[in-house]
Structure 1
Amino acid sequence: MTILTDITTLEDIKLLVNTFYSKVQKDEFIGPIFNEKIGDRWPEHLEKMYRFWQTILLEVHSYSGSPFPPHKQLPVAKEHFDRWMEIFTTTTDELFVGAIAEEAKLRAKNMAEMFNYKIDYFRNAAQNGDLLNLK
């Protein structure tokens, strides 16, 4: 039996990200959305995710940018974010235990909820012809 430890290094981040996205790519529900959007750019996407999570969890400021815009037009709904969160939580729990692992799950949950809210907002605004008031 392997004793789980917390997320403390870039190697831990890479293990989490690689394991998580490997599951996402194969998932029947959300996999096709990711695979269509990312295409053959998976290595580039994974590198960006390493930097993103390293910045958030380890306070090593290696990521800059806005994570939301690439997701704005995705054909997703709450059920997709729920599945994404289910895979993320399960993966994190399989690999790690500790305060930073719990922080990762909380940050992922908050991000999923915010992305879902913003995607709905933009969709509703577009349907209502209110695009001029969007920032």
Structure 2
Amino acid sequence: MDPIDIRPAVQRVPLHGSITREDIATLVDSFYLRIRADARLGPIFDARMAGHWDVHLDKMKLFWASVLLKSGEYKGRPVPAHMQMKGEVETDDFRLWLDLFRSTAQDVFSDRDAAAVVIRQAEKIATSLWLAMLGTPFDRPPAFLFEDATPRREDAGR
């Protein structure tokens, strides 16, 4: 007899109604073209992705569809994958990555609200990866991880 899954169904509501799979594909393809052209980040990514760029891009499209559309398609584990680069990646690499991501998102999404939603998700992901790779339990992430560096409510009084 199969066990009955009694967990409530996950709400699959996209973070913004105007974001499409085509937008996500354009975002991923455009972003990684910029990454590959970057003097610092290009060699880091090329060393890891050489001969596997198509697989990586497909995986990133599933990842971003899961994040932005709440599709549930991505089943990977990003933190352990990125931990393999510990020692290669520096704090400033996260700034470079986010700068490229932010400008790409602003170019891809004509709806400014949609672009802001996408960028905020990237900032959360970058913060999580930075903490896992370079932070300690008492470190505060660098301000550049947040598009507007004004203190957030959770930072008030610190």
Interval of TM-score (by shorter of Structure 1 and Structure 2): 0.7 to 0.9
| Higher alpha-carbon Rg | 2
Unaligned runs of 5+ in 1: 1-5, 123-135
Tell me the residue number matched to 1:63.
74
8 A contact 1:16–1:95 mirrored in 2: yes
Offset, 1:102: 1.4
Provide the alpha-carbon RMSD of the alignment: 1.6
TM-score (norm. length: structure 2)? 0.69
117, 121, 126: which one pairs with 1:107?
A: 121
Structure with greater contact order relative to length (CA < 8 Å, sep ≥ 6): 1
48, 68, 77: which one pairs with 2:59?
A: 48
User: SS state of the match for residue 68, structure 1?
Assistant: helix
117, 134, 137: which one pairs with 1:120?
A: 134
Unaligned runs of 5+ in 2: 1-16, 137-158
Tell me the residue number matched to 1:18.
29
Following TM superposition, the consecutive aligned residue runs of length 4 or more in structure 1 with deviations greater than 6 angstroms are: none
Structure 1 residues 48-57 or 109-118, which shifts more? 109-118
Higher helix fraction: Structure 1 or Structure 2?
Answer: 1
Aligned partners of 1:101 and 1:43: how far apart in 2? 25
Does 1:89 find its partner at 2:102? yes
Structure 1 residue identity aligned to 2:34: K
TM-score (norm. length: structure 1)? 0.80
27, 30, 36: which one pairs with 2:38?
A: 27
The size of the alignment, in residue pairs, is 117
Structure 1 residue identity aligned to 2:33: S
48, 68, 91: which one pairs with 1:37?
A: 48
